Structure 1
Amino acid sequence: MKAGIASLVLAYVLSQFYRGFLAVLTPVLKAELGATAETLAFASGLWFLTFAAMQLPVGWALDRIGPRRTAVTLFALGGAGGALAFATATSPAAISLAMALIGIGCAPVLMSSYYIFARQFPPAVFASLAGMTIGIGNLGNIAGSAPLAWAVETLGWRETMVGMAGVTLLIAALIGLLVRDPAKVEGGPRGSMLDVLRIRAVWPILAMMLATYMPPAALRGLWVGPYYADVYGATTAEIGRVTLVMGLAMVLGSFAYGPLDRVLGTRKWLNFTGNLLCGLSCLLLWAFPAMGGWQTIAIFAAIGFFGASFPQVTAHGRAFFPPHLVGRGVSMLNLFGIGSVGIAQVLTGKIHAAIPATPPEAPYAALFLFFGLVLVVGCAIYAFSQDRTD
């Protein structure tokens, strides 16, 4: 079982890589394919939207056919196939199609791990295991920063993506060989996504899920790249270094959140405080969008660190699900968390295109304001949630 979980965590490392690598490729895709910030935002948004849409069938599949077949099939066909399609893309539209395929492929890997954690480990350690998975998975953010910039400059971006397709296919094979499905829940009610939504205690947690992952995922996944390129004239290597710092902060944040609910005796107020600090960091960038230097990098690091509450918010919601709704429940939480990022990328692409770049930081200030306000509103709704630890 440990080897199977390790293979799913490796797949999640690639999932994190794929949701964040466009930021580093911004300059080369603009130069070679004529991609703009808006078209790249749309492509990034499609990754998250297809990923989110797949949570409904993934939740059903986890409960009915198990995580092994669910993960290996989608990761091999969508993940590896999408990476290969990206490598051969000749237009921004082809990039968007490739990102949609990769989103489908990555959709089951984290939920497969969560499903196994929820079914085979004590509830009290779910948040720590979930945080550990995301913390290790965020190494994909690191791989998609300075190391990716080096690979692109050394090998070329197409060759690099062909290599990533091969790695994806290899890890899919490991999942098929090593993952063992938990025993099915026999007898009792089957349940549905509607049954999840009937649990009213989950509603304010779903509101928090809509907001919590949006700023770090959208900024690290794309907007850091165009922002530094347009405002500071940064190169691919320089963008790689900035995204590396933010990625490391996300890793540290994921590990920090994991055990804190047991230390502090609360999930609700841990999540509330962290997300409020993340939102205030976004608003600070809105107020001073061209401060530059280490201050801007430090604020992006703060957004990455305090915005790493995704596993803790998931654990808060999971605490309200009965055994027969675990697969559908965590998938519903993931749908809200990931789907909101996809919608945000499409919206922020339009916001960026609508605001004149005079001065060049003006469109990005609007984006920082958008992300900050979303988190503040999410925290306000989440304040009415019922606290629960295991």
Structure 2
Amino acid sequence: MRIGIAALILAYVLSQFYRAFLAVLAPVLTQDLGVTAAELASASGWWFLTFAAMQLPIGAWLDRVGPRLTSGLLLAVGAGGAVLFAEATDAGQIKLAMALIGVGCAPVLMASYFIFARQFASAAFGTLAALTLGIGTLGNVAASLPLSWAVTAFGWRETVLGLAAITGAVALAILALVRDPERLEGARHGSLLELLRMPALWPVLIMMMVCYAPIAGLRGLWIGPYLADVHGADALEIGRISLWMGLAMVAGNFAYGPLDRWFRSRKRLVILGNAAMLVCLFGLWWFAAAPPIVAAGLLVAAGFFGASFPIVLAHGRAFVPAHLTGRGVTLLNLFGIAPIGIAQIVTGRLHAATEPVTPAAPYEAVFLFFALTTAAGLAVYLWSQDRRG
């Protein structure tokens, strides 16, 4: 089972890579294909939207079929999407490729969480979830300076084609190595409606909508155009600052895991972490045109404090009955991922519609959008019921 979980975590490394690599590829895609920042935001949004749309069927498949076939077969679809990306000649093909990659990446984290929920103690779920997310976020790191080096050395098409081959190999490894948990004896049937009728779950679902969207949106796309347009950064400088933010996200995930055990209140930990991220987002809005070191520091701090996703998910998981484990974790993931896709599309249009009275003005609008939505979600979450499982 351990080697199978390792294969799933490797697949999640790829998932984190694909959701973030457009930030580094943005300048070369604009130069070679003529795509705009708004079109790239839309492509990033389609990754998250297809990823999110797959969560509900994946939840049922995890409960009924198991994580091996669910994750292995869909990841193979993602490999095909990466091949299409490598051969793309316009924005439409980039968007379709990102949608297919989103489908392929959709089950891998939830497959791991399904195994954790079924085969480990409930109290350990938050720590295991954060550890998995922390390791997986190394893919986010790889989609920064290392990606810049690879693109410079080999070209962006060759680099993405190599990634497609790696993705296909990992899909085969999952099919060969993952072992499904034993089926529950005498488990009763249930549905999503059973979960949606639980009032205690809704404040957590609202928090899921805003806890990850800002850092996913910034690291996944906006950090690249922002640093280029406002601070004149080149591809290597963008890759370097993206690397710092990615490492901060890794550190944040590893920090939230032990803190989940140390804090007596999971709710309090989530509130404190997201309040700190909110300060960083308002700082980016207010100081968008400040020297690059200020922007880099705020982006890195936001990446660290904004890594509460697995703890919020663990909070929601504590309300989910065992026979709905697959549907429960994927429902929570749906609420965590779908808003990112919507936010990327909305911020792309907001960026395009904002009068560029200064180079920073369109990005100030993006930062303010993320800050206000986070504040609204945090206000609702204050009314949530604390539970550790």
TM-score after normalising by structure 2: 0.99
Distance 2:328 2:269 in 1: 21
Higher deviation after alignment, 277-286 or 247-256:
277-286
Quote how far apart the aligned CAs of 1:301 are.
0.7
Distance 1:40 1:52 in 2: 18
Matched, 1:35 2:35: yes
Contact 1:127–1:259 under 8 Å retained in 2: no
Deviations 1:56-109 (A, max 9, x none): 1100000000000000000012x1001000000000111000000000000000
Distance 1:239 1:218 in 2: 15
Matched, 1:300 2:293: no
Distance 1:357 1:230 in 2: 11
Aligned alpha-carbon RMSD (Å): 0.7
In the other structure, the counterpart of 2:142 is: 143
Task: Give the AA of the match of 2:61.
Answer: A
- Where 1:365 maps in the other structure, the secondary structure is helix
Distance 1:2 1:308 in 2: 25
In the other structure, the counterpart of 1:70 is: 70
In the other structure, the counterpart of 2:227 is: 228
Distance 2:244 2:26 in 1: 18
Deviations 1:112-140 (A, max 9, x none): 00000000000111001000000000000
Contact 2:227–2:238 under 8 Å retained in 1: yes
In the other structure, the counterpart of 1:380 is: 379
Deviations 1:137-192 (A, max 9, x none): 00001100000000001100000000000000111111111100001123232111
Alignment of 1:254-269 (within 5 A): 254-269=253-268
Alignment of 1:315-354 (within 5 A): 315-354=314-353
Distance 1:357 1:140 in 2: 33
Distance 2:276 2:375 in 1: 9
Deviations 1:178-232 (A, max 9, x none): 1000011232321111111111111000000000010000000000001011111
Contact 1:38–1:352 under 8 Å retained in 2: yes
Alignment of 1:281-300 (within 5 A): 281-300=280-299
Aligned residue pair count: 389
Contact 2:7–2:178 under 8 Å retained in 1: yes
Quote how far apart the aligned CAs of 1:28 are.
0.3
Task: Give the AA of the match of 1:246.
Answer: M
Task: Give the AA of the match of 2:388.
Answer: T
Alignment of 1:354-373 (within 5 A): 354-373=353-372
Task: Give the AA of the match of 1:62.
Answer: L
In the other structure, the counterpart of 1:48 is: 48
Distance 2:204 2:334 in 1: 13
In the other structure, the counterpart of 1:25 is: 25
Distance 1:187 1:199 in 2: 23
Deviations 1:232-275 (A, max 9, x none): 12111111001000000000000100121221111101001111
Distance 1:177 1:238 in 2: 40
Task: Give the AA of the match of 1:356.
Answer: E
Alignment of 1:85-164 (within 5 A): 85-164=84-163
Quote how far apart the aligned CAs of 1:356 are.
1.8
Contact 1:314–1:330 under 8 Å retained in 2: yes
| Structure 2, unaligned runs of 5 or more | none
| Structure 1, unaligned runs of 5 or more | none
Contact 2:208–2:336 under 8 Å retained in 1: yes
Contact 1:230–1:360 under 8 Å retained in 2: yes
Distance 1:136 1:292 in 2: 32
Distance 2:85 2:118 in 1: 36
Task: Give the AA of the match of 1:189.
Answer: R
